Amino acid sequence: MIKSAFEYLVGLGNTRIETIGDQKFATQPLHPVKMATPATILVHSLSGLVEYLQSEFDGPDSLMVHVNSPTEVECFSNFNRDFARNRLIKAQAMLPEFSFERWLDPESFNIKLQSCFVPNFDREVMLKVVGNIKEDAVKTYGDDGVSQTVTAKTGVATMEQVVVPNPVVLAPYRTFVEVEQPASEFIFRMQSGPKCALFEADGGAWKLKAMQSIKDYLHVALDKEVDAGRLVIIA
């Protein structure tokens, strides 16, 4: 047993490459020694990404900046001998949380409208409707499949049937704050309880707008690096 063990250990150091037909085989398993790649720096703003690239902290090598999504941008180098890239830095947007297609009570919905959406005309109309609903009358609302009405306070002591705005154009905070938040259409619905919910109605087109806005921002902020051929920005 000891002799066979020694023969095995000696055999480990005698790896050969044999050719059988058109195929090459190794007499021992081989494992590639991969080149090391750096840990990715994480930032939460486009300005942080721009400052890093302008500093040339890790050298002036040619880099590519890829806008992966409305909330993520990463920068990487050419591939190395292992066809792996150095992913140097990634920017991930920090955004307030809002759940679409989820029913909320009027108070919670009101707070989310004010904290998670850019002020505009439709947002103000919705705030007035949601903020003045009479809880004891919400169960009696009309619905023809598209429009809805609720009983709401319209004056000091006046109650009227108020039409619920639908669809509405809103701009939630859903991309980096350095660029304009893309506005899109939403379906605003209410149900007895009372409860309110928003449903996206643009098929995700806002994502393309946001990504193009990020690309335009980076092109302006990094125009010298792009003109010098050191950076390529894609979306």
Residue 4 has pLDDT above 50, yes or no: yes
Q: How much is the pLDDT for 171?
A: 97
Q: How confident is the model at residue 128 (pLDDT cuts 50, 70, 90)?
A: confident
The per-residue pLDDT for 36 is 85
Residue-level pLDDT at 156: 41
pLDDT(51) > 80: yes
Between CA 96 and CA 174, with CA 186 as vertex, the angle to 5 degrees is 25
d(CA 168, CA 191): 17
pLDDT at residue 139 in the model: 44
- Higher pLDDT: 62 or 145? It is 62
Cα 175 from Cα 182, distance rounded (Å): 8
Give me the pLDDT at residue 162, please. 65
pTM, two decimals, is 0.79
- The predicted pLDDT at position 229 comes to 87
pLDDT at 131 over 60: yes
Does residue 140 carry a pLDDT above 50? no
Mean pLDDT, the chain, whole residue set = 84
Q: Determine the average pLDDT of the residues in 113-137.
A: 85
pLDDT confidence bin for 175, thresholds 50/70/90: very high
The closest alpha carbon to 179, from 95, 112, 123, 64, belongs to 95
**pLDDT at residue 153, as a whole number:** 56
- Please report which confidence band the pLDDT of residue 219 belongs to, taking 50, 70 and 90 as the band edges: very high
Most confident segment among 12-16, 36-40, 131-135:
36-40
CB 19 within 8 A of CB 191: no
Q: Is the pLDDT of residue 31 over 80?
A: no
Model confidence at 143, pLDDT cuts 50, 70, 90, reads low
Question: How far is residue 114's CA from residue 124's CA, in Å, rounded to a whole number?
Answer: 9
Cβ(138)–Cβ(148) under 8 Å?
Answer: no
Residue 163 has pLDDT above 80, yes or no: no
**For the residues 11-15, what does the mean pLDDT come to?**
63
